[in-house]
Amino acid sequence: MQTIFSTDGMRPKDRFRRWKDVCEDRIVPMEQSCLGDESFEAQIDGTSVGGLDFSKFSLRNLKASTTPRTLRHENHRTDHLFVSMVLSGTVRSDQNDRSSTDRAGDFAVRDTNTPWTIEHSGHSEVLAIAIPRQRLEAALGPARIFAGLTVDGRQPVTILVRSFLSNLLRESDRLSAHKAERMVGVGIDLIVACLADRLAQEMPRPMYGTVVVQRARAFIEANLSDPSLDPPLIAAAIGVSLRRLQELFHERGQHISDCIWQRRIETAAKRLADPGCAHLSIGALAYSCGFANQSHFSRRFKEYHSMAPSEYRQAAFMSTP
């Protein structure tokens, strides 16, 4: 990461004004104030990996809020959600009538479309990741369902997420653009899995079915390459009966098996069009997406796209500038 901003060496009276200007560009417009009588200190380190912006904030004595006024600001960003992971210290937060004190290892999602408040009393460090809204909402539903919920940093999957992201940032300079993008996708899938588990802990009963389906979709995404992935395996993994899971999908006009095959074909199509996967044979690519053999993959793919996988790849490469 490179240092983008630091109050070190600045005159105390200039620190906060300079901080607000930089912060508005890096995140979203906010109303901010200092906490307590101690001097304000801040540093931002940032990098971009696989198309995602990662920012590490080192802060002391800060309160920041988005309000109806700041949400109307011309620089306000609505197309991203921010995953905020506490690296050290504590951060108190409020959003969507949810209040929490997040400690080292915990993370939460901040929705840029609704007001929120965060307080950094004393010194704390936070890793913020700007993720396209659609990537999370496609798997978990509207952000209002999960924004503001704290994911416990002591849970095994959360520990895995933290370790993965730490290693990704450390090794990012050694990854090609295509590999970095794929690794970022893995990281997002892990974050989705954590959020799905967290939602299941306290979701009101009327929304239970939605959460179960979202958890099933997250499990499908994380296990597409497994040829043995099927409805019974998914039901067992998320802790519901197969019959109940089938009912929940049917209520939404879907079949579990159709969902699996659709995601496999969509993933295969993306890889066929990816120059970073050009070295893969059609058979190897099919197997990486969970198809047991190439003929089955070719038949399914042609039914969906009205052309053979090889034709799809050729057309995609010809259209690439």
Instruction: State whether 186 and 44 are in the same domain.
Output: yes
pLDDT for 113 equals 84
Instruction: State whether 183 and 226 are in the same domain.
Output: no
Q: How far is CA 83 from CA 62, 156, 215, in A?
A: 19, 18, 19
Instruction: State whether 78 and 56 are in the same domain.
Output: yes
Instruction: State whether 182 and 220 are in the same domain.
Output: no
Instruction: State whether 19 and 158 are in the same domain.
Output: yes
SS (H, E, C) 136-189: HHHHHCCHHHCCCCCECCCCHHHHHHHHHHHHHHHHHHHCCHHHHHHHHHHHHH
Q: Which of 157, 174, 202 is the last residue of a domain?
A: 202
- Backbone phi and psi for residue 60, each to the nearest 5 degrees, phi listed first: -140, 125
pLDDT for 48 equals 94
pLDDT for 266 equals 93
Burial class (CB in 10 A: 0-12, 13-18, 19+), 304: middle
What is the SS3 assignment for 40?
coil
Q: How far is CA 6 from CA 40, 57, 150, 195, in A?
A: 11, 10, 28, 32
**C-alpha radius of gyration, the chain, whole number:** 22
pLDDT for 321 equals 60
Instruction: State the Cα–Cα distance between residues 6 and 72, nearest whole angstrom.
Output: 28
- Residue 197 belongs to a domain with what CATH number? 2.60.120.10
Instruction: State the Cα–Cα distance between residues 4 and 140, nearest whole angstrom.
Output: 32
pLDDT for 309 equals 94
- Domain holding 178, by residue range, is 2-202
Instruction: State whether 65 and 187 are in the same domain.
Output: yes
**Runs of H (alpha helix) within the chain:** 12-26, 68-71, 133-140, 156-171, 177-202, 208-222, 231-238, 242-251, 256-272, 282-288, 294-305, 309-319
Instruction: State whether 196 and 266 are in the same domain.
Output: no
Query: Which residues of the chain have a pLDDT value below 50?
Result: none
Q: Which of 202, 226, 258 is the last residue of a domain?
A: 202
Instruction: State whether 197 and 239 are in the same domain.
Output: no
Q: Which of 182, 202, 222 is the last residue of a domain?
A: 202
Q: How far is CA 217 from CA 36, 211, 222, in A?
A: 46, 10, 9
pLDDT for 203 equals 61
| Structural domains counted in the chain | 2
pLDDT for 137 equals 85
